[in-house]
Structure formats: structure tokens, C-alpha cells
């Protein structure tokens, strides 16, 4: 079999059975190999940011890598922003990037570029296959690299002749190392902090935000009086009724500093020490007060779940009852649309086992509180801060979990970066209800402009922050890409339309006019 087929078969044998694609000439042998191999679902994106963002959403929900298929350096480049986000979320992903045939590169044809150079800032593992005989083995190595916990971006570059020349048999995936357990010294330090009687925060992220470790953390908190907090952004939080609820460190620096002002110890479990998303003149970069000590119990690469269990054991917290949320949905609101009433409506109607892909930015700041006692759900956030992840991430999550409803909470500014995801949702009939917050402004930037002390914006500056004139018709965009949509101008309309979306098996978009 040819190299391309040896790679596809290796991927499938290695458990990679979804490929998000936007192929070109140099990937045609890979594409036709897909026809000859069972077990690989191919999902086309009309822009590469959709492809990599979908692979991120998939990887977070499937806990294993999807593959992507991208066309040379520029095709990869279009996917880099969402690779950055996936990289920050530690999502496993195997990117296959076609390149010119090895012997053709020297001619510097128009699409030639330094693909490895472009991939490296956003990948943990980068390799160019030298020949068709190496492709299967390189693919197996890419799977292993991507699957190394907690998850990595592996980018394999495939010159066209390595795809079309004779390859090898399927290659077996090398053994994947388990996550390192934390050191006894780290545990001892965390224990001392927790037993110090001084104000202590357990700061969680990564896999520690799944249902079971949160439950353990809840017991530890109850036993010790420590406060549980999650990072501002997290790859996936399991929350809602029956689970231990956890607040996040607020994005605004002043709020974060205020929340942490009396804390003396922060114990990190797969989390990073809290720093500002941006720097601002006359505001600190570090959110914890002077004198507060940071104790790294588990780095993001270590096994925080085991660390929590060990901690609970040592503390004898096993007998505690974790403070799980009761099922307590907000009342269905009525009247005008406000950010509060929207949050209440979403909290009330969120279906059981929903997957929430949240890129609602300023419009969604109330959502977390109002969904605390909703039906159990998973909450996915943008970890890298590069907007344009929401619609693709929802797309990939829906591919990973066809039996669950995906609710995408998207802002208009962010949504415009990768709106092509709606087309993929329509083609694949993905079960995604999108709530599109249309406020016609990069609202966060108005606040940031004040925060950085850039002065009063004039007309020219405001024109760079406001995205009305012309107003974007999101129902029109959705319909034009085959997605049913409706516009809500009161909260009652929103409730009706959101219900319709949730009842619809397939994609639906509710445009909320703010």
C-alpha cells in the first residue's frame, strides 16, 4: 500500500478515527486513501481555523486525539490560532500537513514555505516524513506524542511523494507514558499549607475539574476550610446538579486581586499561579498578594487527580460529604433581554448532559453563576484567548458526543472569525444550539481601553471597537450556510427560540439582540 494509506490505517489502528479536513492537491492521496479504509470519519471545514478548533473540541470531549488534514504552510497557518488555543488547553491532536514532493521543494514553487518553522511555535512535536517507508512509523509516533498526558499537539508534515510512493504495513503506536505522580515533598508542602489554619486556596485546572476529582477536592475543602477555585479559563469543567461547584478567578484584575487579597497559601493542582490575562499600567501582573505562598502540588503535566486522592487520604477527608450542588434551576424569566435574564433562561433550560462551548466573553459573565444548579453538564472555555474558537469547538464536541446536546454561547465579534463552522454543522447535521450574542461591539475592548489608561477614545478609535455599521445579520449568515435560525428581541422570544433550538435535532442558531 502507498504511504498515505499506511498512515490512514495506522491512525485508525491507533484509535484516531476522526479527521477534520481542508485538503489540497498535495493531500489527494490521503483523501482517496480514506475511501479504502473503514473507521475514519472525515469532516470537511471550509476554513482551517474551523478544522483545528473542531479538533480541539473533539479532543477535549473524547479524551483522545482527532487528526486534521491541512494544505501546506498557509493551510497550517490558517489553523494556527486555534492550535494555540488547543495547545494551551493541552488537547491531544494529530495534524497532518501536506507538503510539496521532496524533490519539488528546491524549485520554490508558489506555495513553498517553512512549514516546520510555522508549526513549531504552536506544536509540541513536529516532524517531516522523509520517505514513504517512514510515514506509518511517523504517524504512530505522532499519535503517541499527541496522546502523552495531559495531551499535546503533534504536527506531521507529509511531502506528497511520501504519500504516493510505496509505504509499509501499519505501524504500532509506541507505548504512551502515564502521567507522573506527584512527589511526596510536594504533598507534604501542600498538607502543611492546608493544616496551617491560614487562608488557603486549592486552585484547580486540567483533569482535576472532572466530576470525581472535584468531589474529592470538595471533601478536602470541607475538612480543611480551604477554598476551591478554578483558573479563569479551563479546558473542561464538569458541573451542575450533583457535582461540586467551583468558582473561577475573575478575568478583571481588580476583581481577582480583591478575591485573593487575604489568601496566604495557594495550592496548585494542574493549575498555574494566577496572573493577569494582560498587563495594565499601575496594576499588578501577579494576582496573589505579597506574602502569599504558591505551592505546586501537581503541575499541569502531573497527575492532579491522584494528588487530590492522596491529599484526601492523608487528611482523612474520605468520610466527609462533598458539598455537591442540589438541582436548582433559575426561574424562567420574562420581559426585557438583560445579561441576567439571558443567563437565567439558559440556566433554566440547559439540558441534562449538555456540552457548553463558551465564547460569550462580556455577554456571558453571569452565565456561570446561573448554571451552577442546572442539569449536569460539561463547560468548555477558550484557554488561549485567541477568539474564534467557540463555533468550531462546538462543532468538534458534537462530533465527539453525538448523543449529547451542544450549546454554543458565542459573541458576535468572536463568531465572525470562524463563522464557516456553521456550514460544517449543517453538513454533518450536528446537534448544536448556538446562542449568538449580538451586541455589535468588541465590548471587552471598550473596557480594556479604559483599563490600560489609553484615554478617551475618539471616533476613529471607536470605529475600531464597534462592529455595527453595517449591523451583521446573524440569522442571514446562518441561513446562508444551511443552519436554521431566529432572532430574539425579548427574553420571552429567547426562551421560545432556545427551546426550539434544543428540541431541534441538528444545528440551530438563536440570535440575541443586545
The closest of 28, 90, 100, 96 to 68, measured between CA atoms, is 96
Residues 209-248 that bind a copy of itself (CB under 8 A): 233
Q: For residues 67 and 34, is the Cβ–Cβ distance under 8 A?
A: no
By the rule CB under 8 A, 39 interacts with a copy of itself? no
Regarding 166 and contact with a copy of itself (CB under 8 A), the answer is no
255 counts as binding a copy of itself under rule CB under 8 A: no
In angstroms, what is the minimal distance from the CB of 444 to a copy of itself?
8
In angstroms, give the least distance from the CB of 421 to a copy of itself. 11
Residue 199 or 252 having the CB closest to a copy of itself: 252
Taking CB under 8 A as the criterion, the residue among 17, 63, 77, 189 binding a copy of itself is: 77
Rounded Cα distance, 508 and 158, in Å: 37
Phi, psi for 41 (deg, rounded to 5): -85, 130
> Which one among 461, 499, 506, 513 touches a copy of itself, defined by CB under 8 A?
461
Longest dimension (CA), the chain: 70
Among the listed residues 172, 452, 513, 514, the single contact to a copy of itself using CB under 8 A: 452
Spatial separation of the C-alpha atoms in residues 270 and 273, rounded to whole Å: 10
> Quick one: cell of 338?
438583560
Nearest distance from residue 292's CB to a copy of itself, in Å?
Answer: 15
Size of the site for a copy of itself (CB under 8 A): 102
Interface with a copy of itself in residues 277-296 (CB under 8 A): 277-279, 281, 285-286
- Residues 478-497 within binding reach of a copy of itself (CB under 8 A): 479-482
The smaller minimum CB distance to a copy of itself, of residues 147 and 414, is found at 414
Residues 343-372 that bind a copy of itself (CB under 8 A): none
Q: Judge contact between 59 and 66, C-beta under 8 A.
A: yes
Which helix or strand (DSSP H or E) is residue 177 part of? none
**Residue span binding a copy of itself (CB under 8 A) among the ranges 81-89, 288-296, 315-323, 344-352:** 81-89
Part in contact with a copy of itself (CB under 8 A); list of ranges 130-138, 322-330, 413-421, 498-506:
413-421
**The C-alpha cell of 459 is what?**
471616533
The residue written with cell numbers 444545528 in the block is 507
Stretch that binds a copy of itself, among 35-43, 141-149, 297-305, 310-318 (CB under 8 A): 35-43
Question: Does 300 help bind a copy of itself (rule: CB under 8 A)?
Answer: no
Query: Pick from 143, 207, 129: which is nearest to 175 by CA?
Result: 143
CA-to-CA dists, residue 66 to 42, 346, 394, 443, angstroms: 10, 30, 14, 34
Closest to a copy of itself by CB, 388 or 501? 388
**Which of 198, 254, 313, 471 forms a contact with a copy of itself (CB under 8 A)?**
471
First to last CA, the chain: 57
Chain centroid to Cα 109, Å, comes to: 36
Residue from 477, 488, 509, 510 touching a copy of itself (CB under 8 A): that is 477
Q: Given phi > 0 = left and psi -120 to 50 = alpha, else beta, which region is 200?
A: beta
Within residues 97-126, the interface with a copy of itself by CB under 8 A covers 100-101, 103-104, 107-111, 113-114, 117-118, 120-122
Which phi and psi (to 5°) does residue 168 adopt?
-115, -175
Residue 58 CA from chain centroid, whole number: 9
Comparing CA positions, the residue from 268, 265, 213, 271 lying closest to residue 244 is 213
Smaller CB separation from a copy of itself, 245 or 438: 438
Binding residue for a copy of itself, selected from 15, 130, 225, 453, defined by CB under 8 A: 453
Range 314-343, binding a copy of itself (CB under 8 A):
none
458 binds a copy of itself (CB under 8 A): yes
183 lies in the binding site for a copy of itself (CB under 8 A): no
Does 204 sit near a copy of itself (CB under 8 A)?
no
Query: Which region among 208-216, 297-305, 315-323, 454-462 touches a copy of itself (by CB under 8 A)?
Result: 454-462
Q: Is 430 in the site for a copy of itself (CB under 8 A)?
A: no
Residue 379 within binding range of a copy of itself, rule CB under 8 A: no
Q: Rule CB under 8 A: say whether 465 interacts with a copy of itself.
A: yes
Cα(468)–Cα(476) distance, rounded to whole angstroms?
Answer: 15
Of 284, 426, 411, residue with least CA distance to 357? 411
Give the sheet arrangement for strand 93-99, strand by strand: 41-44, 18-21, 66-71, 93-99, 153-159, 125-128
Q: Report yes or no: 323 and 218 within 8 Å, Cβ to Cβ.
A: yes
Measured over the CA atoms of residue 128, residue 3, residue 55 and residue 352, the dihedral's sign is: negative
The kind and range of the H/E element at 440 are none
Those residues whose C-beta lies under 8 Å from the C-beta of residue 229, and which sit 6 or more positions away, are 201, 202, 203, 204, 246, 247, 248, 249, 259
Q: Which is nearer to a copy of itself, 10 or 233 (CB)?
A: 233
Q: Does 467 bind a copy of itself (CB under 8 A)?
A: yes
C-alpha cell at 253: 484584575
For a copy of itself, the binding residue among 85, 147, 360, 497 (CB under 8 A) is 85
> What residues from 126 to 155 belong to the interface with a copy of itself (CB under 8 A)?
none
Length of the chain measured in residues: 514
Which range touches a copy of itself (CB under 8 A), out of 135-143, 148-156, 180-188, 458-466?
458-466
C-beta closer to a copy of itself: residue 349 or 512: 512
Binding span for a copy of itself by CB under 8 A among 19-27, 204-212, 215-223, 255-263: 19-27
Amino acid at each position: 500500500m502507498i504511504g498515505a494509506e499506511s498512515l490512514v490505517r495506522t491512525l485508525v489502528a491507533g484509535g484516531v478515527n476522526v479527521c477534520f479536513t481542508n485538503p489540497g492537491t498535495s493531500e489527494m492521496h490521503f483523501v482517496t486513501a480514506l475511501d479504502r479504509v473503514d473507521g475514519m470519519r472525515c469532516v470537511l471545514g471550509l476554513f482551517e481555523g474551523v478544522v483545528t478548533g473542531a479538533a480541539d473540541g473533539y479532543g477535549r470531549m473524547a479524551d483522545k486525539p482527532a487528526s486534521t488534514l491541512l494544505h501546506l504552510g498557509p493551510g497550517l497557518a490558517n489553523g494556527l490560532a486555534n492550535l494555540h488555543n488547543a495547545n494551551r488547553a493541552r488537547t491531544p491532536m494529530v495534524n497532518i500537513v501536506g507538503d510539496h514532493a521532496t524533490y519539488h521543494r528546491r524549485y520554490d514553487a508558489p506555495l513553498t514555505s517553512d512549514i516546520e518553522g510555522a508549526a513549531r511555535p504552536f506544536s509540541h512535536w513536529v516532524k517531516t516524513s522523509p520517505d514513504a517507508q517512514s510515514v506509518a512509523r511517523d504517524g504512530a509516533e505522532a499519535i503517541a506524542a499527541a496522546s502523552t498526558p495531559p495531551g499535546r499537539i503533534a504536527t506531521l508534515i507529509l511531502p506528497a511523494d511520501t504519500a504516493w510512493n510505496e509505504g509499509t504495513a501499519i505501524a504500532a503506536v509506541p507505548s504512551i507514558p502515564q502521567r507522573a505522580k506527584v512527589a511526596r515533598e510536594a504533598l507534604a508542602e501542600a498538607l502543611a499549607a492546608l493544616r496551617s489554619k491560614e487562608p488557603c486556596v486549592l486552585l484547580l485546572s486540567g483533569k482535576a475539574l472532572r466530576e470525581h476529582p472535584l468531589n474529592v477536592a470538595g471533601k478536602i475543602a470541607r475538612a480543611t476550610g480551604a477554598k476551591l477555585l478554578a483558573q479563569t479559563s479551563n479546558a473542561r469543567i464538569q458541573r451542575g446538579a450533583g457535582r461540586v461547584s467551583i468558582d473561577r478567578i475573575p478575568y478583571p484584575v481588580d476583581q481577582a486581586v480583591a478575591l485573593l487579597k487575604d489568601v496566604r497559601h495557594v495550592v496548585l493542582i494542574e493549575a498555574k499561579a494566577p496572573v493577569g490575562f494582560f498587563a495594565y499600567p499601575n496594576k499588578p501582573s501577579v494576582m496573589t498578594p505579597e506574602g502569599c505562598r504558591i505551592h505546586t502540588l501537581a503541575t499541569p503535566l502531573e497527575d492532579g487527580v491522584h494528588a487530590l486522592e492522596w491529599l484526601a487520604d492523608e487528611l482523612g477527608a474520605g468520610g466527609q460529604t462533598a458539598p455537591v450542588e442540589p438541582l436548582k434551576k433559575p426561574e424562567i424569566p420574562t420581559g426585557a433581554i438583560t445579561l441576567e435574564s439571558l443567563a437565567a433562561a439558559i440556566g433554566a433550560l440547559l439540558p441534562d448532559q449538555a456540552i457548553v462551548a463558551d465564547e460569550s466573553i462580556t455577554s456571558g459573565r453571569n452565565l456561570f453563576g446561573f448554571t451552577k444548579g442546572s442539569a449536569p453538564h460539561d463547560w468548555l472555555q477558550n484557554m488561549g484567548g485567541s477568539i474564534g474558537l467557540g463555533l468550531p469547538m462546538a462543532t468538534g464536541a458534537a462530533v465527539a458526543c453525538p448523543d449529547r446536546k451542544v450549546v454554543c454561547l458565542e459573541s458576535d465579534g468572536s463568531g465572525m472569525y470562524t463563522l464557516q463552522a456553521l456550514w460544517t454543522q449543517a453538513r454533518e447535521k450536528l446537534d448544536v444550539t448556538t446562542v449568538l450574542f449580538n451586541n455589535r461591539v468588541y465590548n471587552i475592548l471598550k473596557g480594556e481601553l479604559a483599563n490600560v489608561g489609553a484615554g478617551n477614545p475618539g471616533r476613529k478609535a471607536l470605529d475600531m471597537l464597534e462592529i455595527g455599521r453595517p449591523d451583521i445579520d446573524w440569522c442571514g449568515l446562518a441561513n446562508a450556510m444551511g443552519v436554521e435560525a431566529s432572532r430574539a428581541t425579548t427574553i420571552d422570544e429567547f426562551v421560545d427560540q432556545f427551546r426550539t433550538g434544543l428540541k431541534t435535532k441538528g444545528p440551530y442558531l438563536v440570535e440575541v439582540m443586545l
